[in-house]
């Protein structure tokens, strides 16, 4: 039985690696299968940057995001595995060096159990895979170590064979920080804990997609970021300033000048043309874009004189994006903007969002249920039951034209 299970897992990893063309795809697919099969709470993939000699976290799964962390090679269980090519475990098991500490511990997550195995190509050690905290609370076994070593070797050989490389990924400065954000709703005697301690940084000029099952707290988190709802506790930092208890004036300025909103429903004024809908918002904004520039950015030059009822869903959504854009916001918050649209019109909208991030440098946070859209994001934040379950950096995001559903 044991051998069949092992072979089945290795077969799954092998199949998932067959068609991959991107390094991050190879690694995140492998990590996902490992985490599921060994039922671990945490996982991370580290790669060695030979130029700097630093070990960089490229994929991270679990309650903390390690993807911005670099450490000197040789540090912690991860560094030992990468430097020596030997597996490391906690507590000690046969076939592995016993670890004192690992980088999960450094960032404040308590690791009870850990396995860390090197990524070995035929020539060198390129990094490692670390998993921690079996959900059952049990220790890892020597068989599981063996399995992890084999799957890591498969991933490393695929990387070598296909010549997949690590693009130089840099992010902009942090514009928004959420620290231990909690939100409770009470109804009668019961209290509903909707957000249970969210920690998240949002960077300048990035496209973040938020995924998660219905009711897990996505809109609640977005509304708190957007100043439309207050957290029960925790800190919201905007542009390095504490924004947890803003005054009415600060809040109004923030929503009016700093943010643009897009929702599933377009909320256009039916008796105004597309251009008039956009101009109306421009007139109440401090530093608006020229209306024609907003119209150009969403590709509606030909349709600007039409009324909403004369436009398709995708076109109406583009008007609502132009209305958000004309405010020249630093950040656009989009709550399921393509949910009501079919593939073609949804893709039109995504092309516009892609262009805004590229041409205007706007940060976009977008909630969706569509995992295909997540492939376009720089980072994908997954929420589960009011907590962040993973944050992944897409090293090679796809363009709107490359995705389909
Ligand atoms: N004002 C409110 N009062 C009481 N409960 C609320 C309130 N707003 C949201 N909730 C509850 O909080 C939970 C999270 O809601 P939220 O709208 O954030 O989920 P979501 O992840 O956006 O879901 P969906 O994908 O369906 O939009 C749900 O259980 C919801 O019923
Ligand atoms: Mg929602």
Atom number, ligand 1, closest to the C-alpha of residue 185: 4
Number of compact structural domains in the chain: 2
Q: What is the CATH number of the domain that holds 78?
A: 3.30.450.40
- Give the ligand 1 atom nearest the CA of 386: 14
Report yes or no on 168 lying in a domain. no
Report the chain's C-alpha Rg in angstroms.
23
Same domain, 141 and 187: no
Ligand 1 atom 25: the closest Cα is on which residue? 214
Last residue of a domain, one of 162, 190, 207: 162
3-state class (DSSP) for residue 356: helix
Judge whether 169 lies within some domain: no
Gap between the Cα atoms of 105 and 204, Å rounded: 28
Structural domain boundaries enclosing 62:
2-162
Residue with tokens 């507590």: 91
Are 154 and 225 found together in one domain?
no
386 lines ligand 1 (CB under 6 A): no
The single-letter DSSP state of residue 303 is G
Mutate to test the pocket of ligand 1, among 188, 190, 192, 194 (most ligand atoms within 8 A of CB): 194
Q: Same domain, yes or no, for 179 and 292?
A: yes
Shared-domain flag, residues 208 and 277: yes
CATH number at residue 397: 3.40.50.300
Of the candidates 130, 162, 194, which is a domain's last residue? 162
Measured CA to CA, the distance from residue 26 to residue 53 in angstroms comes to 23
Are 114 and 215 in the same domain? no
Q: Are residues 206 and 349 in the same domain?
A: yes
pLDDT one digit per residue (tens) for the chain, 405 residues: 567 888 888 898 888 888 877 777 788 888 989 999 999 999 999 999 877 788 888 888 888 888 878 888 888 999 999 999 999 999 999 999 998 889 888 877 889 999 999 999 888 899 999 999 999 999 999 999 999 999 999 899 888 887 776 655 567 899 999 999 999 999 889 999 999 999 899 999 999 999 999 999 999 999 999 999 999 999 999 999 999 999 999 999 999 999 999 999 999 999 999 999 999 999 999 899 999 999 999 999 999 999 999 999 999 999 999 999 999 999 999 999 999 889 998 998 999 999 999 999 999 999 999 999 999 999 889 899 999 887 777 767 899 999 998
Biggest CA–CA distance in the chain, Å, is 74
- Final residue of a structural domain among 108, 127, 162: 162
My answer on whether 252 and 142 are in the same domain is no
> How far does the centroid of ligand 2 lie from the alpha carbon of residue 375, in Å?
20
Residue of 181, 48, 42 whose CA lies nearest to 102? 42
Beta strands in 113-173 (DSSP E): 114-120, 125-134
> Ligand 1 pocket: which of 184, 212, 220 to mutate (most atoms <8 Å of CB)?
220
Tell me the ligand closest to 190's alpha carbon: 1
CA of 335 to the centre of ligand 1 (A): 13
Residue whose CA is at the smallest distance from ligand 1 atom 8: 220
Task: Give the residue, by CA position, lying nearest to ligand 1 atom 5.
Answer: 185
Pairing type for strands 97-98 and 114-120 reads unpaired
**Shared domain check, 322 and 209:** yes
Q: How far apart are CA 194 and CA 212, in angstroms?
A: 13
Instruction: Starting from the CA of residue 215, give the closest ligand.
Output: 1
3-class secondary-structure state, position 167: coil
Residue 1 burial (CB < 10 Å; 0-12/13-18/19+)? exposed
Q: Residues 153, 25: one domain? A: yes
């Amino acid at each position: 039985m044991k051998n069949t299970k092992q072979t089945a897992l290795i077969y799954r990893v092998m199949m998932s690696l067959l068609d991959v063309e991107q390094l991050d795809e190879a690694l995140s697919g492998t990590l996902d299968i490992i985490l599921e099969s060994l039922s671990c709470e945490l996982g991370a993939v580290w790669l060695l940057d030979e130029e700097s000699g630093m070990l960089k976290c490229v994929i991270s799964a679990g309650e903390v995001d390690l993807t911005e962390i670099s450490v000197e090679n040789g540090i912690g269980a991860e560094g030992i595995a990468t430097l020596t090519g030997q597996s490391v475990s906690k507590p000690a098991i046969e076939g592995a060096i016993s670890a004192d500490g690992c980088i999960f511990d450094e960032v404040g997550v308590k690791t009870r159990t850990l396995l860390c195995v090197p990524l070995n190509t035929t020539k060198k050690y390129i990094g490692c895979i670390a998993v921690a905290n079996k959900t059952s609370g049990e220790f890892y076994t020597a068989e599981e170590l063996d399995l992890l070593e084999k799957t890591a070797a498969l991933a490393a050989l695929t990387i070598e064979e296909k010549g997949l490389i690590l693009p130089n990924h840099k992010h902009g400065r942090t514009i928004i920080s959420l620290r231990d954000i909690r939100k409770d709703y009470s109804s009668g005697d019961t209290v509903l804990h909707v957000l249970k301690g969210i920690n998240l940084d949002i960077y300048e000029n990035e496209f973040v997609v938020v995924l998660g099952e219905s009711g897990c707290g996505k809109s609640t988190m977005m509304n708190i970021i957007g100043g439309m709802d207050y957290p029960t506790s925790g800190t919201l930092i905007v542009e390095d300033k504490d924004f947890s208890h803003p005054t009415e004036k600060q809040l109004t300025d923030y929503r009016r000048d700093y943010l643009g909103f897009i929702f599933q429903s377009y909320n256009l004024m039916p008796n105004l043309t597309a251009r008039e809908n956009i101009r109306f918002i421009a007139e109440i904004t401090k530093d608006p874009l020229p209306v024609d520039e907003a119209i150009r950015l969403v590709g509606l030059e030909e349709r600007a004189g039409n009324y909403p009822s004369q436009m398709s869903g995708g076109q109406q959504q583009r008007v609502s994006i132009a209305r958000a854009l004309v405010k020249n916001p630093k950040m656009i918050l989009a709550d399921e903007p393509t949910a009501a649209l079919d593939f073609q019109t949804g893709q039109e909208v995504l092309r516009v969002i892609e262009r805004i991030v590229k041409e205007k440098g706007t940060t976009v946070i977008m909630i969706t249920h569509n995992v295909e859209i997540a492939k376009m994001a720089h980072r994908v934040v997954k929420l589960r039951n009011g907590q962040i379950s993973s944050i992944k950096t897409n090293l090679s995001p796809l363009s709107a034209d490359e995705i389909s559903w």
